[in-house]
Amino acid sequence: MKGTPFEKKALENINLEIDNGEFVALIGHTGSGKSTLVQHLNGLLKIEEGEISVAGMQTKGKDLKELRKKVGIVFQYPEHQLFEETVYKDIEFGLLKQGLEESERHRKICETAAILELDNALLEKSPYELSGGQKRRAAIAGILVLEPDILVLDEPAAGLDPAGTRELFDIVTALYKEKNITVILVSHSMELVADYASRIIVMNKGRIHSDGKPSEIFMQGRELEKIGLGVPEITELMSLLKKYRPDIRQDIFSVDQALQEILKQLGVKQ
């Protein structure tokens, strides 16, 4: 709390620019400032120094309503925010606040549900009847239906099994490519970050530690370990294999890349 002995700067000396259409991952140990940073992007938290401009709007200005149309934030365990009688009504909630006609609301809901693979039968069910993965997608649909230009995902795979995680991220990736939106992913999973993000921002103690492509970041394995992070498990495996295959590539960060490299090492034509 400000003005007390417990006062602490959550973010310090942040200088950052994210371009339209980027898929950026924010990684860092617990308490590094990741979630605090993204909550500033639509004015949920207010800065005390400096300025933040999103889509040409200042986050400490008077246009927060317009700003929040541009930036959709999906928090960890978003299904805990589901509250309506049906999935359809839950997705519709934000559209009602916008005052859209019923026919337009229906069109947007059906289009968004289709993107997130929620069929018509699921839309008429109570959110509490859905599986964990379906609840997560229903909650995300409530954000996407508002058509934000920037989608922030704060640990979106928390609590999901590997199959549910892969399903969710395949959908997010398809949406990213189809709609050309900007995606900002906050995650502890190095595997997810390696598979999906095109740029990684590493945070440590409220500051930006490093910023670059996945290949650039994960080649700094020892530096990441010093701040409580690591590299994808497949990267560690490839490092072990180097003892037996000295010419094997080390810039491997996904299972697909590893498979291709191993087949190449074995002389298997693809």
Q: Does domain 23-214 have CATH number 3.30.70.60?
A: no
Please give the backbone phi and psi of residue 200, each rounded to the nearest 5 degrees, phi first. Answer: -125, 130
Q: Which tens digit of pLDDT belongs to each residue from 146-201? A: 999 999 999 888 888 888 888 888 888 888 888 889 999 999 888 889 989 999 99
Residues 71 and 152 sit within 8 Å (Cβ to Cβ)? yes
Q: What pLDDT score was predicted for residue 112?
A: 92
Q: Which tens digit of pLDDT belongs to each residue from 191-230? A: 889 989 999 999 999 999 999 999 899 888 889 989 989 8
pLDDT at 1 over 70: no
Average pLDDT, integer, range 83-101: 91
Q: Which tens digit of pLDDT belongs to each residue from 125-145? A: 999 898 888 888 998 999 999
Residues 190 and 207 sit within 8 Å (Cβ to Cβ)? no
Q: What's the pTM value of the predicted model, to 2 decimals? A: 0.87
